[in-house]
Amino acid sequence: MSGNSFGLLYCVTSFGESHGPAYGGVVDGCPPGLVLSAADLQAELDRRKPGSSRHVTQRRESDAVEILSGVFEGRTTGTPIGFLIRNEDARSKDYAAVADKFRPGHADYTYLQKYGVRDARGGGRASARETVVRVAAGAIAKKWLKEKYGTRVRGYLAELGSVKIPFESWDEVERNPFFAASREVGKLEAAMDALRSSGDSCGARVNVVASGVPVGWGEPVYGRLDSDIAAAMMGINAVKGVEIGAGFASIGQKGSEHGDEMTPQGFLSNNNGGVLGGISTGQDLTVSIALKPTSSIRLARRTIDRQGRAASIETTGRHDPCVGIRATPIAEAMLACVLIDHALRHRAQCGDVAPPVPIGRKP
Amino acid sequence: MSGNSFGLLYCVTSFGESHGPAYGGVVDGCPPGLVLSAADLQAELDRRKPGSSRHVTQRRESDAVEILSGVFEGRTTGTPIGFLIRNEDARSKDYAAVADKFRPGHADYTYLQKYGVRDARGGGRASARETVVRVAAGAIAKKWLKEKYGTRVRGYLAELGSVKIPFESWDEVERNPFFAASREVGKLEAAMDALRSSGDSCGARVNVVASGVPVGWGEPVYGRLDSDIAAAMMGINAVKGVEIGAGFASIGQKGSEHGDEMTPQGFLSNNNGGVLGGISTGQDLTVSIALKPTSSIRLARRTIDRQGRAASIETTGRHDPCVGIRATPIAEAMLACVLIDHALRHRAQCGDVAPPVPIGRKP
Amino acid sequence: MSGNSFGLLYCVTSFGESHGPAYGGVVDGCPPGLVLSAADLQAELDRRKPGSSRHVTQRRESDAVEILSGVFEGRTTGTPIGFLIRNEDARSKDYAAVADKFRPGHADYTYLQKYGVRDARGGGRASARETVVRVAAGAIAKKWLKEKYGTRVRGYLAELGSVKIPFESWDEVERNPFFAASREVGKLEAAMDALRSSGDSCGARVNVVASGVPVGWGEPVYGRLDSDIAAAMMGINAVKGVEIGAGFASIGQKGSEHGDEMTPQGFLSNNNGGVLGGISTGQDLTVSIALKPTSSIRLARRTIDRQGRAASIETTGRHDPCVGIRATPIAEAMLACVLIDHALRHRAQCGDVAPPVPIGRKP
Amino acid sequence: MSGNSFGLLYCVTSFGESHGPAYGGVVDGCPPGLVLSAADLQAELDRRKPGSSRHVTQRRESDAVEILSGVFEGRTTGTPIGFLIRNEDARSKDYAAVADKFRPGHADYTYLQKYGVRDARGGGRASARETVVRVAAGAIAKKWLKEKYGTRVRGYLAELGSVKIPFESWDEVERNPFFAASREVGKLEAAMDALRSSGDSCGARVNVVASGVPVGWGEPVYGRLDSDIAAAMMGINAVKGVEIGAGFASIGQKGSEHGDEMTPQGFLSNNNGGVLGGISTGQDLTVSIALKPTSSIRLARRTIDRQGRAASIETTGRHDPCVGIRATPIAEAMLACVLIDHALRHRAQCGDVAPPVPIGRKP
């Protein structure tokens, strides 16, 4: 298995470049019998679509997805689900300036050094546009998880640069143009406007939560659920940090504070974030990720060219000043893909096991 | 590939329980011709060995490793390297009290619910003692990386509970009983003594750095170097957070601050932590992890028993009050295993590519 | 890795059904820098194309392939190569008769029993039309192998039902409408005509040979070269047997006859078929496969329907009376994919090893 | 996953050399709750043990197996099962003669050329003694399959060199010193005696049958059941050919003869060998393999030495004159391992599917 597939049993394979003909993916291992149509994938793709507000890239893409296989008479057949998303608005001329120089903080440099060649148009394979594949694959995973186990995977923007956004309600997320779980909009728009006029970019924090995860998913000691979640999250473009449960705050906690006590009604807290020993506890799975600021900015920066000579670079083109905004559906998708994979892996090995300990689900 | 193997080409498989006959592992895919003996593994195992100071578990284990295959006349042959570490000091009676109840924050509960059975002695498979396998596998990886590429993988304790420990020098790490890169000992001992007398435990932060990593390792978009590092780190017992480079601090950074500028002499900063687009940049790889406090503590805690009834638990037995202390060699080992795997993967696909851009190595 | 991908480093993923919108595939792990265009794939696809003679299915498909990613300015970039082949002549009505009954010898029954649903149109996922993906992936492998190592992968039809076809010359294969390495055509046409008028079908033997394979490819003891070849060949539709080298004739051989003697000029014979201990010897790799007769025949046969009731079935529609004829390019493709995968795997682990023993290449 | 592991969910990893300290293996992914002890493994190991009759190698090995993990209070726990078999009778001096020369038909040459080094003692990693690991892993698989599904995996020697041995009864196999399903002994002993006195060796055919396999196992199109069986069988030392069902006889069959007709009571024949479209049919799985003659023979043969110079070689030492005799339990083990792997894979993806078509099991 080379680098563009992930998942052992729910296996997602991705291809495509920013300015090539299309992105596409293959989901292999989906259980048969799931009611599925392109509309299920489209709904999630529309959530991450560019151009949805003035705070994200103005590239115009319908991101219309076509299912090419694996679905017959409205149901999955158990065979691989191939899907395709054509690129439409690929203005290669915008990128002529960056073809010969490397954007600080961007993968331009490493791709060229690794492969000896690179498709510089729009970041090529390194473009965050690749995440359409993840979102489409995640949409299928989400649907199956919800129908089979009642599992829901939801995320929200928790920090926009230095602005911390309190969680108010899940209901706000789909209404809020920033995926914030808050009625707050003005302060965020002001922050974005200031950013755009300065020609700079900022980072973000996104939180993702899966509720309704049964106890027992995850394969210690290396195929742990938390380990696979960490890989999935750190593999999203621009992510530089991943926390589960109390995360880095665990360092300053005492054991008597961190260790979640149990009662017949369930756990009394959730510092573990829904996973102990690499196995889900039945509590909410809580994950938090840090996204770095967009590396394509208007401000001039020092760099080098392909010959290794000193140069300066300013990136115009159409870029999200904060890639973290559109990261919410992507992070949800990745978590959903990890969960379905482990649901299937657990059923394979432990399909005969009924969890012996009766316990409630609290909180 | 089930849950107890990791690595695509340098593949580590682990087995063993805390109070079973032995731990062991298989390293498959090691290049042939490497000079190797049990002493190379032993040196690293001794670094993480219990009983080395009064601040870690007093379980007495020689952790003597035996190489069973894959080495002939002092050199690796390219065939799998099997190794074995017998358990010696397995006092099962210490654990009778925990066999029927679940320690808050421990994997006791999830293992039982997942598998329907569990070896409760000493935490069974969930014991941190399993990390001997990782350390042994990492020792081989470290040696090859150093000989072939001059790559060095080193770590240190950066925070002990609420005590932040400034980095002074790599030279201090091996002298310091806490793996701190500092001459500081007294303050750390005082913190540990207070912790022990209170019957509680604390968390820790460990930083790991790989220097001398060539540009080009890592396979975007899912087999990224940072993605695999995140999985390896989050897969270490007690880890709840992983950062690469600026990590969570990236959230508050501007793009003009975060994006590492380049000159013909090299990068001017290292916020990316040595990886861009999932591929190594040639800079130092910098990773930081958060470890939660030990879940086995003397203080009484609310829990349930196997029948789901309310209960109270106090853990006596021999436990590290801060598992983070001995995590340094483990984290180094995991990073080394990821690096050799990607070194081999890169050579496989891009063995013909000479990185085209000439650039220095600064900083 | 689920069931529709194969190869560890040169990883091929396939999707598509006979009467769905399209077939497609993803080749991940191809080395960068290879000169490649759709024409390279098309040339091989045209060799297996239906309708090329009156002895194969008359389904009209242009099998035009579109490369969607992984190639930039005429060279592979090291990123995944996605490709698509639209279905054109999908006359679903032809298959109404078989939707509710199971053809003896066909996968109709097993797909339905496994998945609970099936796309019965044209055999759905079980159609041999899926091999377009293999042939396309193999075309890339063939090209790289030839340029990098001078390796050539060629096959021919050795038996058509009970007609044995002597090997005359490789030059004849591309001229012969049956992929026979012979000037013989009339006898084969007569056999096919008799078969067609009888409404029956027949089996075939195809031999495949790879020349110019370096010594050292293959990973014992489970990732052996012969083991992977056997899997690849048995995985082709209708294949029921695989031999390497002397194959089943080895049973009756003495060790003094079978064991290929060596001289400074090379091996004196090739009973091993180019592989010893799972590792290539540097000789020609010789593989032979048995293909069963097509299961879709005009003659009436006893079967059951979806309710398990006794029924009778006659298959009209457009089917190859001997699937073995078009299997030659498919078998070549599978062998090429296995070889490039092992070429990369060998380079990964043993990239530093120069084979120490000087030896010629004879025969 | 490197070359010494196989199986996706029931994953077997092997290590060890003929004259090293030990062989060992790790079985990862075994379902929890299976009653298991070393005696279960030992029973199968004793079947393939050397020295059991005068017709096999006289190397004296008790092949005593120790289980090191994964079993607690007599049941599997779902964690990896590590096991160890110490080498006892490793007389390295016997092999001094072959250390510098290559046995025709043996892996001596390819191992050295691949890895640059080799452990020549007793064939090192290439020794058929490695199959102890397969047999031990297969014993666990067999037990689970039988308890869970009533599946039985049995094999027998069908041809010894040119002697064809008719199948009489499964009951004879365990009584017959050659694993023949026949009361015949004298003719086989005579053949072996003649062989031994001539200093030569011969090939063999072994048939393996799995009965009680449910319909639906196997993952088309690359993870097919027959594909994985072919890999497993061709991966056994000395195997040069694999057939499923009618195998090579399919070539000469007509479709009307080969395609197994169905009735409400079941299939009327079994040319497919229990697999259609890569998925089990519910019939007996029938596999046949060809084993080449032992390459270590007393007769002098032409070869070369490590410097590539012409030489002559005669192998004394203790070798099976027909490796096929002891291959029966090995082939059974490999088939069992493939079957349990696919049982788990099927349960993962299709755990909700009840095969919709009612059908008997005939024959």
List per-residue pLDDT tens for chain C, 363 residues long: 689 999 999 999 999 999 999 999 999 999 999 999 999 999 999 998 876 677 777 677 889 999 999 999 999 999 999 999 999 876 666 666 678 899 999 999 999 999 999 998 888 999 999 999 999 999 999 999 999 999 999 999 999 999 999 999 999 999 999 999 999 999 999 999 999 999 999 999 999 999 999 999 999 999 999 999 999 999 999 999 999 999 999 999 999 999 999 999 999 999 999 999 999 999 999 999 999 999 999 999 999 999 999 999 998 876 788 999 999 999 999 999 999 999 999 999 999 999 999 887 654
Residue C154 CA, chain-centre distance (Å), reads 11
In chain D, what percentage of residues exceed pLDDT 70? Answer: 96
| Closest Cα in chain A, distance from residue C122 (Å) | 13
Half-sphere exposure of A224 (CA within 13 A, CB side): 31
Mean pLDDT over A236-248 rounds to: 98
Chain C residues in contact with B79 by the CB 8 A cut-off are 220
Name the residue in chain D with its Cα closest to that of B17. D69
A266-269, long-range: CB < 8 A, 24+ apart: A266/A359, A266/A360, A266/A361, A266/A362, A266/A363, A267/A362, A267/A363, A268/A362, A268/A363, A268/B302, A269/A363
- Give the pair of three-digit tokens for residue B226: 């940072």
Beta bridge partner(s), residue D12: D6, D27
Answer yes or no: do C31 and B347 touch at CB < 8 A.
no
E strands, chain C, are 5-6, 11-16, 22-28, 65-67, 71-72, 75-76, 81-86, 152-160, 163-164, 204-211, 239-244, 262-263, 266-267, 275-276, 279-280, 285-291, 301-304, 310-313
pTM greater than 0.80: yes
Kindly provide the ipTM of the predicted complex, given to two decimals.
0.97
Look at residue B333 in the predicted model and tell me its pLDDT.
Answer: 98
Euclidean distance between CA atoms C188 and A258, whole angstroms? 78
Under a CB-based contact definition with an 8 Å cutoff, are residues D131 and D48 in contact?
A: yes
Q: Encode pLDDT of D304-347 as tens digits.
A: 999 999 999 998 876 788 999 999 999 999 999 999 999 999 99
Mean pLDDT over A214-242 rounds to: 98
Answer yes or no: do C32 and B349 touch at CB < 8 A.
yes
In chain A, what percentage of residues exceed pLDDT 90? Answer: 87
| Closest Cα in chain A, distance from residue C3 (Å) | 7
| Closest Cα in chain C, distance from residue D199 (Å) | 9
> Please, what is the average pLDDT of chain A?
94
Beta bridge partner(s), residue C312: C302
Note the helical H segments in D86-161: 108-115, 131-149
Answer yes or no: do C116 and D350 touch at CB < 8 A.
yes
Angle in degrees, 0-180, between the axes of helices B327-350 and C327-350, rounded to the nearest 10: 130
Look at residue D363 in the predicted model and tell me its pLDDT.
Answer: 47
Please state the length of chain A.
Answer: 363
Q: Output the CA torsion sign for C319, C320, C322, C324.
A: negative
| Closest Cα in chain B, distance from residue A197 (Å) | 13
> Please, what is the average pLDDT of chain B?
94
Q: Encode pLDDT of D137-173 as tens digits.
A: 999 999 999 999 999 999 999 999 999 999 999 999 9
Phi first, then psi: what are they for D26, rounded to 5°? -130, 125
Which residue, among B236, B292, B301, would best test binding to A if mutated, counting the most A CBs under 10 Å from its CB? B292
Report DSSP letters for B249-300, one per residue: GGGG-BHHHHS--EETTEES--TTTTEETTEE-SS-EEEEEEEPPPS--SS-
Chain B residues in contact with D32 by the CB 8 A cut-off are 115-117
Choose among C5, C335, C353, C307: nearest CA to C154: C335
Note the helical H segments in D178-301: 186-198, 225-234, 255-258
Mean pLDDT over A320-335 rounds to: 94
Under a CB-based contact definition with an 8 Å cutoff, are residues C242 and C213 in contact?
A: no
- How many Å is the Cα radius of gyration of chain A? 21
> Quick check: helix, strand or coil at residue A105?
coil
Q: Which of D8, D202, D295 sits opposite C259 (nearest CB)?
A: D295
Under a CB-based contact definition with an 8 Å cutoff, are residues B248 and B237 in contact?
A: no
Q: Encode pLDDT of B260-315 as tens digits.
A: 999 999 999 999 999 999 999 999 999 999 999 999 999 999 999 999 999 999 98
Look at residue C95 in the predicted model and tell me its pLDDT.
Answer: 67
Answer yes or no: do D32 and A348 touch at CB < 8 A.
no
Report DSSP letters for B65-106, one per residue: EEE-SSEETTEE-SS-EEEEEE-----GGGGGGGTTB--TTS
Q: How far is CA C329 from CA A254, B313, C250, in A?
A: 66, 68, 27
Measured over all CA atoms, what is the biggest interatomic distance in chain C, rounded to whole angstroms?
67
Q: What is the dihedral of CA B236, B242, B244, B249, to 10 degrees?
A: -160
Under a CB-based contact definition with an 8 Å cutoff, are residues C260 and C267 in contact?
A: yes
Choose among B308, C360, D69: nearest CA to A215: B308
Residue B192 has pLDDT above 50, yes or no: yes
H or E stretch including B45? helix B38-48
Under a CB-based contact definition with an 8 Å cutoff, are residues B201 and A255 in contact?
A: yes
Q: Encode pLDDT of B34-64 as tens digits.
A: 999 999 999 999 998 876 677 777 677 889 9
Under a CB-based contact definition with an 8 Å cutoff, are residues C181 and C235 in contact?
A: no
Answer yes or no: do A11 and C1 touch at CB < 8 A.
yes
Q: Which of D3, D17, D78 sits opposite B28 (nearest CB)?
A: D3
Answer yes or no: do D255 and C293 touch at CB < 8 A.
yes
Residue B190: other Cβ atoms inside 10 A: 11
Look at residue B53 in the predicted model and tell me its pLDDT.
Answer: 74
- Give the pair of three-digit tokens for residue A348: 């394979």
Residue B363 has pLDDT above 70, yes or no: no
Chain C residues in contact with D244 by the CB 8 A cut-off are 234, 240-241
Q: How far is CA B243 from CA A94, B214, B226, B268, C174, in A?
A: 33, 21, 9, 20, 58
Chain D residues in contact with A352 by the CB 8 A cut-off are 31, 33
Chain A residues in contact with D345 by the CB 8 A cut-off are 9, 348
Residue B97 has pLDDT above 90, yes or no: no
Answer yes or no: do A125 and C77 touch at CB < 8 A.
yes
- Give the pair of three-digit tokens for residue D353: 């599917």
> Quick check: helix, strand or coil at residue A45?
helix
Phi first, then psi: what are they for B283, rounded to 5°? -80, 175
Answer yes or no: do B226 and A246 touch at CB < 8 A.
no
Which residue, among C148, C340, C349, C350, would best test binding to B if mutated, counting the most B CBs under 10 Å from its CB? C349
Euclidean distance between CA atoms A197 and A204, whole angstroms? 18
Choose among A196, A190, A178: nearest CA to A327: A178
Choose among B361, B184, B163, B188: nearest CA to B262: B361
Q: Which of C20, C79, C81 sits opposite A69 (nearest CB)?
A: C20
- Interface C–D counts its CB contacts (< 8 A) at 425
Look at residue C53 in the predicted model and tell me its pLDDT.
Answer: 74
Residue A270 has pLDDT above 60, yes or no: yes
Chain A residues in contact with D30 by the CB 8 A cut-off are 349
- Give the pair of three-digit tokens for residue B349: 């696909």
| Closest Cα in chain C, distance from residue A361 (Å) | 33
Answer yes or no: do B349 and C350 touch at CB < 8 A.
no
| Closest Cα in chain D, distance from residue C134 (Å) | 10
Q: How far is CA C71 from CA C8, C67, D281, in A?
A: 21, 8, 42
Q: Among A208-222, C271-285, D115-129, name the one with the lowest average pLDDT.
A: D115-129
Euclidean distance between CA atoms D8 and D265, whole angstroms? 34
Mean pLDDT over B82-110 rounds to: 85
Q: Which of D107, D232, D251 sits opposite C205 (nearest CB)?
A: D251
Look at residue C363 in the predicted model and tell me its pLDDT.
Answer: 47
> Quick check: helix, strand or coil at residue D67?
strand
Name the residue in chain C with its Cα closest to that of A85. C68
Chain D residues whose C-beta is within 8 A of a chain A C-beta are 8-9, 29-33, 78-79, 220, 344-345, 347-353
| Closest Cα in chain C, distance from residue D163 (Å) | 8
With contact defined as 3+ CB pairs under 8 Å, the chains touching A are B, C, D
Chain A residues whose C-beta is within 8 A of a chain D C-beta are 8-9, 29-33, 78-79, 148, 220, 344-345, 347-353
Contacts of residue B287, defined as CB under 8 A and 6 or more positions apart, other chains included, come to: B207, B208, B209, B229, B233, B242, B243, B244, B273, B331, B335
The band of D60, judged by pLDDT with boundaries at 50, 70 and 90, is confident
The band of B186, judged by pLDDT with boundaries at 50, 70 and 90, is very high
Under a CB-based contact definition with an 8 Å cutoff, are residues B129 and B122 in contact?
A: yes
H or E stretch including A209? strand A204-211
Under a CB-based contact definition with an 8 Å cutoff, are residues A225 and A218 in contact?
A: yes
SS3 per residue for A282-328 = CCCEEEEEEECCCCCCCCCEEEEECCCCEEEECCCCCCCCCCCCCHH
